């Protein structure tokens, strides 16, 4: 009786090991580096900056927005893409240009993107916060896995309002494109 129990336990352990060996380990997946570019073209019907509140020095009406950001990225074994050193420009209303620096963020394994960066308006330091979703070549799941298995290079991105904003000036609603260039 005890002998049969040990054989059953050994069989379960053996099958468990076979299953673990058949699935690629997250720890063994390679780290890949590259560059991300996010582009939002001016489009008054889709890409808008809506004023937050009212008062002295506050914007009074919604305006069109253009955004261009780029910086280094690296994949991690858990399906996350880390973004660092983002820089670029945010243009509001076609005339006000904010130079973006010090951006960082990540894309999780479900295509959710979060970015935090900084700019200045005269002597005032402003924070750019973007929350959104990337649809990678028609798939809403992990870009890392999609890239790893299929070699995809980007897709549409949608940043939602009120989660996306420029400090206390504007809520941002943006539709654009994200693209990746991967190092070999």
Residue 54 has pLDDT above 60, yes or no: yes
Higher-confidence position of 122 and 71: 71
Residue 15 resides in a domain? no
Residue 162 resides in a domain? yes
- Cα–Cα distances in angstroms (integers) from residue 65 to residues 40, 49, 76, 84, 174, in the given order: 8, 6, 32, 23, 8
- Work out how many domains the chain is built from and give that number: 1
pLDDT value at residue 26: 44
Residue 111 has pLDDT above 50, yes or no: yes
**Global confidence as pTM:** 0.76
Domain that holds residue 149: 29-182
Q: Please compute the mean of the pLDDT values over residues 101-114 and round it to a whole number.
A: 88
Residue 2 resides in a domain? no
Residue 97 has pLDDT above 80, yes or no: yes
Residue 160 resides in a domain? yes
């Amino acid at each position: 009786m005890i002998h049969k129990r040990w054989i059953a336990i050994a069989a379960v352990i053996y099958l468990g090991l076979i299953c673990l060996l058949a699935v690629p380990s997250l720890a063994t997946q390679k780290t890949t580096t590259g560059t991300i570019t996010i582009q939002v073209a001016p489009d008054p019907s889709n890409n808008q900056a809506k004023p937050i509140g009212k008062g002295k020095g506050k914007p009074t009406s919604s305006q069109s927005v253009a955004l261009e950001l780029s910086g280094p990225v690296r994949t991690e074994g858990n399906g996350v893409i880390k973004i660092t050193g983002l820089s670029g420009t945010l243009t509001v209303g076609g005339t006000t240009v904010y130079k973006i620096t010090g951006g960082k963020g990540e894309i999780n394994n479900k295509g959710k993107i979060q970015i935090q960066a900084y700019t200045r308006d005269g002597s005032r330091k402003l924070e750019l916060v973007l929350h959104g979703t990337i649809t990678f070549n028609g798939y809403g799941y992990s870009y890392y896995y999609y890239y790893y298995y299929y070699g995809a290079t980007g897709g549409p991105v949608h940043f939602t309002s009120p989660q996306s904003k420029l400090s206390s000036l504007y809520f941002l609603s943006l539709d654009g494109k994200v693209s990746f260039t991967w190092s070999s």
